[in-house]
Amino acid sequence: MPSLPRSPFAFLLALLSFLAAPPVAAEDGYDLWLRYKPLPAAEARGYLKAARRVVTGPQAGETIAIAREELARGIEGLLRRAPAGSTRLAGDGAIVIGTPKDSPEIAALDLPLDRAGAEGYVIRSVRIDGRRAIVIAANEEIGVLYGAFHLLRLMQTLQPLDALDIVERPGIERRLLNHWDNLDRTVERGYAGQSIWDWHKLPDYIDPRYRDYARANASIGINGTVLTNVNADAVALTPAYLEKTAALADVFRPYGVRVYLTARFSAPIEIGGLDTADPLDPRVRAWWRDKASEIYALIPDFGGFLVKANSEGQPGPQDYGRTHADGANMLAEALAPHGGVVMWRAFVYSAENPDDRAKQAYDEFVPLDGAFRDNVLVQVKNGPIDFQPREPFHPLFGAMSNTPLALELQITKEYLGFATHLVYLAPMWKETLDADTYAAGAGSTVAKVVDGSLHDYPHTAIAGVSNIGSDRNWTGSHFDQANWRAFGRLAWNPLLSPEAIAEEWVRMTFSNDERFVAPVVDMMLGSHEAAVDYMTPLGLHHLMGTGHHYGPAPWVDDLDRPEWNPVYYHRADREGVGFDRTETGSNALAQYAPEAAAAFAAPETTPEEYLLWFHRVSWDFEMKSGRTLWEELVHRYTRGVEKVAAMRRTWAGLDELIDAERHAQVAAFLAIQEKEAKWWRDACLAYFQAVSGLPFPEGYDPPARSLDYYKSLSFPYAPGH
Ligand code: GCV
C-alpha cells in the first residue's frame, strides 16, 4: 500500500498533483483512430504556429467542407484551440485547402498536381504573400479530404510539420470493403454484433453511424463498399431495397465511398419472373440491362456487382452449361454503359471434382484468361484454399496476365480466433503482396499484379472482407480496429510496412507514450506468427471445427464433402503427415511458375512454414532445428501458447498508460486467447499423438485432457455461422 505523506503540506502537494493529472478518461473505442485527444503542450504549441486556421476557396464544395470541419475538429481536439475558418489568409499558420478549380491561392501555386491523379494530393509548406502556410491541394475534392486526414495523422503521431513536401496517390483504383452482411442483419463470419445496415429502417432513418463509417473509411482511403453478402439475396435488388441502398450511397458520396451490391445470379428468376437465368438468353440479358438502368437512375455513381457463382451452392452460369466468362460478361455488358464493373470471384471448388481443392480455381479460370470484358475483374483470395492462418499465394496471381485480378483479403478473423484473439493481420497480407509470382520474370510480386503495374490492367481492385458490426467499438475488439485500418493503408500503398502501419495506429488509437508504443507494436508484429504456431504450424491448414470454424477439430472425417474434413488437409497417419502437392501427389506445385515452384519442390528446401502444405513427410523427418517433425510440432504448438502468455504479461504492465476501460477489455480478451491457444495446442497434439503413436517429447507438458474430451466439445451457437 502506498504510504501517506507525513506533513499536511506534503499531503496538500500530493493532492494537488493528483488533481492536476486526472486518470486517463474511459474510452469505448467508438472514435477509432480519429480520437483527437490533446497532444502534449510543447508539441501542441509548435503545431499551432503552423496550423491554426483553415482557409477554403469561395467555390469549395461539400467534400472540401467536410475536410475543413475535420481539420477544425482535429485542431480543436489535438491543439485545444478553436480554429477560425476563413476564406482569407490572415497571418502565418493557415492551412489552405482545395483544388485549383475552387481555390485561387492553390491555382496560383506551382504544385506537382499532375503526380497526384484523381484521388491523390499534395501537402506542402509554402509562403503565400509572404505568410507561412500549409497547402493541401488536389485535383478533385476527395483528394483534399484524404490530404486533410494525412496532415492530421502527422500531428496525431507527433511528426514535424515544417518543410512539408508530400505527394501521394493511391496504388490501386478500387479499395473496397466487402460486407458479408445479410438483409436480416446477421453477418456471415461477423464477430462484432449485428450488421450496421439497419435495412428495415432505411431509407427513412439514417443512423448517424453511417456517416461515421464513411468518415473512418475516408480517413484510410477506402473508396467503395459492397454492402451485401456474397452468399447473395436477390431481394437486395428489388426496388424497395435499391431505395435503401441509394440512401446509404447519398450519405457516403461526399466521403468518396461508392456503393456496390452482390448480384445473385438467379435473380431474374427469383425477382424477375423469368424461368431461366441463362446468361445467353436474350430475356435474361435484357432483365439485367434494365436492372442496371434502374440502379443507376437512383445511384448515378453505383460501383458495380460482386458475384459468387457456382461456388458453395450459389447459382451461376454453369447451371446452364455456360462458363464463368459468359456469366461475368453478361453482367458487365449491362453495367458498361453506366461505368460499372463486375468483380467475379474465383473462389470455386466442387464436391464432384476429386482433384485437390487447392487446384480447382486455377483449373477453371486460367483457360478463360482474356475471355472477360474490360470491365470485369476476377477477385482472388490471397491463398488457394480459404483464408487460412497461413497459405502460400494463390497461383492464379501468376497465371492471368490478360485479366485484371483483384486481391481478396479477409479482415474478419474467421480462421484466426474471431474477435477475441489479438492477431494483427498486416504481416500475413504482406506475405502475399510481396510474394514473387515470376509471372514476368523475377520481381513480379502479387502487389504488382494487383496494382496493375505488371500487366497494365484497365481496372485494379483490392477487397477486404469487413470485420465491422454494430458493436460500440465497431470491430468487436479494440485491436481488430488495427486490421480495418491496416487493410485501408495497404490498399492505398501496398508497399507500406506492417510495422509503420502498426506504429501509427497505436499512436493514434492509444497513446504516443514511448513506453506504450514500442511494446505494443512488438506484440502486434509477433501476433500472427503466434496464432500460426498455436493453430496450424508448419503448413498445416483447415484444422478448424466444422462449420463455425471455432477451435480445433483435426479429427473430423465424416462430413459429406471430402474437402470439408480436416483429415483431407493434414492426411496424418502412423507414417507421417502433410499434403503432397508435388508431382508425386496432386502436383498443385505445377500451377506456379517454375522459379516460384522451385522454392517448394523438396521437403528439405521448402521453407518450414509451408512444409506440410506441399509435402507429406514422416514423423521423424529432420527439421532445421535438429528436432524430428513430431518434436518440432510439439515445440511450435507450445511456443505459440508461450507467445500469447508473453503478450498477456506485456499488456498487464501497461495498465497505467491508457484508459482503464480499454485496457481491461484487451486484458480479458488476451486471457481468453491464452486459454484457447492452450486448447488448440492440447487438442491438436492429443490427436496427432494418437495418430502417430509417438511419445510426448521430454520437457513439454502433455495435453491437459484426453482426446475424447476435446472431441466431445460442441459449439452450436458459435457466432458468425
Ligand atoms: C461467404 C468460406 C467461408 C464462407 C464464405 C466463403 C466465401 O467458405 O466459410 O462463410 O461465404 O468462404 O468466401 O464465399
Q: Is the CB of 542 under 6 A from ligand 1?
A: no
Catalytic (active site) residue 352: no
Cell 510539420 belongs to residue: 161
End-to-end CA distance of the chain: 49
**How many angstroms separate the CA atoms of 272 and 642, rounded?**
57
Report yes or no: 684 and 638 within 8 Å, Cβ to Cβ.
no
Phi, psi of 618 (to 5 degrees): -80, 160
Rama region for 659: left / alpha / beta (φ>0; ψ in -120 to 50; rest): beta
Q: Is the CB of 385 under 6 A from ligand 1?
A: no
Question: Could you tell me the domains of the chain?
Answer: 41-168 (3.30.379.10), 174-507 (3.20.20.80), 533-579+616-712 (3.90.1330.10)
Report yes or no: 588 and 356 within 8 Å, Cβ to Cβ.
yes
Those residues with Cβ within 8 angstroms of residue 83's Cβ, 6 or more apart along the chain or in another chain: 52, 53, 54, 71, 72, 75, 76
Q: Is the CB of 386 under 6 A from ligand 1?
A: yes
Give mean pLDDT in consecutive 10-residue pieces for the chain, a chain of 721 residues. Answer: 46 46 76 97 95 93 98 96 74 95 95 98 96 97 98 98 97 98 98 98 98 99 99 98 99 98 98 98 98 99 98 97 98 98 96 92 98 98 98 98 98 98 98 98 98 96 99 98 99 98 98 98 99 98 97 96 95 98 98 98 98 98 98 98 98 98 98 98 98 97 98 97 90
User: Considering 312, 374, 604, 655, which one is annotated as catalytic?
Assistant: 312
Report yes or no: 444 and 417 within 8 Å, Cβ to Cβ.
no
In degrees, rounded to 5, the angle at the alpha carbon of residue 475 between the alpha carbons of residues 472 and 476 is: 75
Beta-bridge partners for 126: 133
Q: Is the CB of 679 under 6 A from ligand 1?
A: no
Q: What is the pLDDT of residue 1?
A: 33
**How many angstroms separate the CA atoms of 596 and 615, rounded?**
16
Spacing, Cα 189 to ligand 1 middle (Å): 8
Residue 321 cell numbers, joined: 452449361
Catalytic (active site) residue 333: no
In a 3-state reduction of DSSP, which class is residue 107? helix
Residue with CA closest to ligand 1 atom 13: 347
Report yes or no: 389 and 536 within 8 Å, Cβ to Cβ.
yes
User: Considering 168, 173, 356, 386, which one is annotated as catalytic?
Assistant: 386
Residue 267 cell numbers, joined: 435473380
